Structure 1
Amino acid sequence: MIQHIASREALVATNQHLLEVSEPLSGVGLAALGSDLDGVSDLLLTQVSLRRTLSENTLSPDARSGIVQQLLGSKISAPALEVVQFAVRQEWASSRDLQDALRRLSRTAMFRRAERTGELDEVEDQLFRFGRIVDANPELSVILDDPTADPAARSALVHQLLSGRAHTLVTELVDALARDTAGRSFTHGVRELLDQAAQRRDKIVAFVKTARPLTAAQLDRLRASLARIYGREVTTHVDVEPGILGGIRVQIGDEVIDGTVAGRLDELRRRMAG
Structure 2
Amino acid sequence: MKHAASRQALATLRGRVDGVTGRFSTAQGMTGLAQELYDVVDLLITQPRLRRMLADPTTPAEGRADLAGGLFDDKIGASAVQLLRAAVAQRWSSPWDLLDALETTADDVLFGAAEQDGLLDEVEDELFRFERVLSTESRLTTALDDASAVAERRVKLVRDVVGDKVGPITLMLLEHAVASRRKHSVTLAIDDLLELAAARRNRSMARVVSAVELTGQQVSRLAAALSDMYGREINIRAAIDPGVRGGLVIRVGDEVIDGSIAARLASARAALAN
Distance 2:210 2:34 in 1: 36
Q: Runs of at least 4 residues of structure 1 off by over 4 A?
A: none
> Is 2:140 aligned against 1:140?
yes
Partner of 2:154, secondary structure, is helix
Aligned-partner Cα distance in 2 for 1:222–1:68: 47
Paired residue for 2:16?
17
CA contact 2:183–2:189 (8 Å) conserved in 1 = no
Pairing 1:63-142 to 2, within 5 Å after superposition: 63-142=63-142
Q: Bigger CA drift: 222-231 or 93-102?
A: 222-231
The answer as to whether partners of 1:181 and 1:189 remain within 8 angstroms in 2 is: no
Q: Helix, strand or coil for the counterpart of 1:53?
A: helix
**Alpha-carbon distance, 1:160 to partner:** 2.9
State the SS of the aligned residue for 1:148: coil
TM-score by length of 2: 0.93
Partner of 1:195 in structure 2? 195
**Does residue 255 in structure 1 map to residue 255 in structure 2?**
yes
Tell me which moved more, 230-239 or 66-75. 230-239
Please, which moves more after superposition, 223-232 or 152-161? 152-161
- Unmatched tracts of structure 2, length 5 or more: none
| 1:15 aligned partner, one-letter code | R
Equivalent position of 2:204 in the other structure:
204
Q: Which runs of 5+ in 1 are unaligned?
A: none
SS at match of 2:39: helix
The amino acid across from 2:122 in the alignment is E
Question: How large is the RMSD of aligned CA atoms in angstroms?
Answer: 1.7
Distance in 2 between residues matched to 1:249 and 1:222, nearest whole Å: 12
1:5 alignment partner AA? A
Instruction: Name the amino acid aligned to 2:11.
Output: V
CA contact (8 A) 2:208 2:248 kept: yes
Q: How far 1:272 moved relative to its partner?
A: 4.2
Q: Distance in 2 between matches of 1:75 and 1:162?
A: 32
2:210–2:242 contact (8 Å) kept in structure 1? yes
8 Å contact 1:124–1:194 — kept in the other structure?
yes
AA in 2 matched with 1:6: A
Aligned identity (percent) is 37
Aligned to 2:34: 34
Equivalent residue of 1:232, what SS? coil
